[in-house]
Amino acid sequence: MVAVKGTNARRFAAFRTTEKANRYQNVAYEQYQPVGDYSLTSEGTLLYDAPAGSVTTFFAK
């Protein structure tokens, strides 16, 4: 869960990079791959399950 403050945006596009593939966790190698759009909950949080060893960037839409 990510708490989001300081923006009026309610939707975000997500892009993810992983450090390496991990077949045991079902994670493929990704380099700045789009992983979908996410909306804030009514409490102003974003629900996102990040794979271990990954970095995700969210851009307001």
pLDDT score for 23: 66
Tell me how far apart the alpha carbons of residues 35 and 22 are, in angstroms, rounded to a whole number: 17
When mean pLDDT is compared over 2-6, 12-16, 43-47, the highest value belongs to 12-16
pTM for the predicted model, two decimal places: 0.78
Q: Do 57 and 18 form a contact (C-beta atoms < 8 A)?
A: no
Q: Residue 61 has which token pair?
A: 């839409």
Q: Do 38 and 48 form a contact (C-beta atoms < 8 A)?
A: yes
